[in-house]
Every structure is written in C-alpha cells, then in structure tokens.
Structure 1
Amino acid sequence: MRSSSNKKIDPRVHSLVPKHEVLSIEEAYKVLKALGVSPEQLPWIKASDPVVKAIGAKPGDIIKITRKSQTVGETVIYRYVISG
C-alpha cells in the first residue's frame, strides 16, 4: 500500500479558501498610502501558513485576500507576512 503522505495538496483549490495574491511593491505602496498605515500595522499572517507557502510569499510581503460573501458580495483584506 502506498502512503498518501507524499502527495502535496494545494490549499487554494478548496472552496472555503479565499483568493490570496502577493502585491507588487507598487501596489503595496498604494494600499498602505490609501489606508494611512505602515506594513507592520496590518494584521499579520505567518510565512508558514499553507496558502502563503503555496503562493510563494515571503516575510515582508503584503497579501491581498479577496473573500466572497452572500451578504456583502466581495470583501478585500490585506495581511503582512511575518516569519514563523
């Protein structure tokens, strides 16, 4: 019997996982300026998070997360990637 532990599962394909994107430096600057915050003031997400790993984000990156909701439609949130 073969072990299934060798298979890598991409967490982004699950229906409950919202879309995650790494922002370019230019996009991140625009977002931070519009929000009037520094990167460290954004909510944090660890680099060890499965989705963060899957999209190749590194500490210091800013991630845009787009969530779909039946009540409000679409919500965009931002997270600052930290080590860990």
Structure 2
Amino acid sequence: MSEYITKDDLRQFGLVMMNDFRKIIEDSKKDQNNKLTLEWLKSRVVRKLLDISAGSLQNLRVTGKIRFKKVLGSYYYNRVDIMNLFNEK
C-alpha cells in the first residue's frame, strides 16, 4: 500500500511549523524580559552594591524585603529585589 503526500498535506505541515516557530519566538522574548528576574547575586556583591554590613543584609533577609536562596552555605539574592530597594529610597 502506497501513501502519497499531497499539496494540502504540505501546506498543513507548513502552517503547523510556522505556529511552532511563532511560539518559540514568543517564548524567547518572554525569557529575555524575565532575564533580570532570574539573576541571583552573592552576598558579597549585594553588600558592596548597597554599601551595607553583613548584619544589615541579614536583617533585609529576615524581614523578607529581599528574596534569597541558600546554596551550600552561601546566600544568593534576587537582583530585582535589590533594584527595588534602590527605587524605594
């Protein structure tokens, strides 16, 4: 039994591919817009940026003013939260 590919099959395949490409491009644009959201800074960098002590940084962490993650004993802080601190002042 032989199957033939028609022009309509190729046209439909092309439309599906174009939709997939559009979706990939839209997703990559969203990723670029969220790039800052995904950036995390080490404690040392944050203390230098804000010109604060380790205790002051701990206070910001404890009060929930900045998000953080602890990885293998080191703290990392969200860049967007740091930038928002600058905007508040």
TM-score range normalised by the length of the shorter chain: 0.3 to 0.5
Larger helix proportion, structure 1 or 2?
2
- Structure scoring higher RCO (CA < 8 A, sep ≥ 6) equals 1
Instruction: Please report the TM-score for the alignment, with normalisation by the length of structure 2.
Output: 0.34
The structure number with the bigger radius of gyration is 2
Instruction: Please report the TM-score for the alignment, with normalisation by the length of structure 1.
Output: 0.35
Larger strand proportion, structure 1 or 2?
1
